[in-house]
């Protein structure tokens, strides 16, 4: 009976000790070796990469907006051909029309609803179609 008590208490002590050690390691992830350090470094680079890409996009859009040369219509007009392929809902068709650039603000607000996923899919299809068609 006493031995069983000792075994039970010992197991509980080991469990508690393990939790304590685990907590101590979790509290200081920077002291981990290998994957934890890699994750931290990767995280910083992810944000830096995003910032670089966004900055480049801003620069490109700004320079092209002021560019007086004509747009590449052959590559850009491919987007209209996919309109009939989306037959899910009426709202999807409406969102597809927005791809043409008339109602950009509506797109930003639409994304809160459940229909937004469908809208996003529409844009994805449209973009890839256009890129394949005449972008290159």
Residues 3-62 touching other proteins, rule: CB under 8 A, are 3, 5-6, 9-10, 12-13, 16-17, 19-20, 22-24, 26-27, 29-30, 40, 42-44, 46-62
Output 51 or 88, the one with its CB closest to other proteins: 51
Q: How far is the CB of 33 from other proteins (least distance, A)?
A: 16
> What distance in Å separates the CA atoms of residue 128 and residue 135, rounded to the nearest whole number?
10
Q: How far is the CB of 133 from other proteins (least distance, A)?
A: 10
Is 107 a binding residue for other proteins by CB under 8 A? The answer is: yes
Task: Identify the residue among 2, 33, 84, 87 touching other proteins (CB under 8 A).
Answer: 2
Output 69 or 87, the one with its CB closest to other proteins: 69
* Angle at CA of residue 29, ends 26 and 32, nearest 5°: 110
Residues 86/125, Cβ–Cβ less than 8 Å: yes
Task: Identify the residue among 37, 81, 111, 132 touching other proteins (CB under 8 A).
Answer: 111
């Amino acid at each position: 009976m006493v031995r069983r008590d000792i075994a039970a208490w010992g197991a509980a002590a080991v469990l508690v000790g393990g939790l304590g050690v685990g907590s101590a390691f979790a509290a200081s992830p920077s002291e981990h070796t290998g994957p934890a350090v890699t994750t931290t470094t990767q995280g910083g680079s992810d944000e830096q990469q995003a910032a670089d890409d966004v900055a480049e996009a801003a620069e490109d859009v700004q320079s092209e907006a002021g560019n007086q040369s004509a747009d590449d219509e052959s590559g850009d007009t491919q987007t209209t051909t996919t309109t009939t392929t989306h037959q899910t809902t009426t709202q999807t068709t409406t969102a597809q029309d927005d791809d043409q650039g008339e109602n950009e603000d509506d797109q930003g607000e639409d994304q809160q609803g459940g229909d937004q996923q469908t809208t996003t899919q529409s844009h994805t299809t449209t973009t890839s179609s256009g890129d394949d068609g005449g972008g290159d």
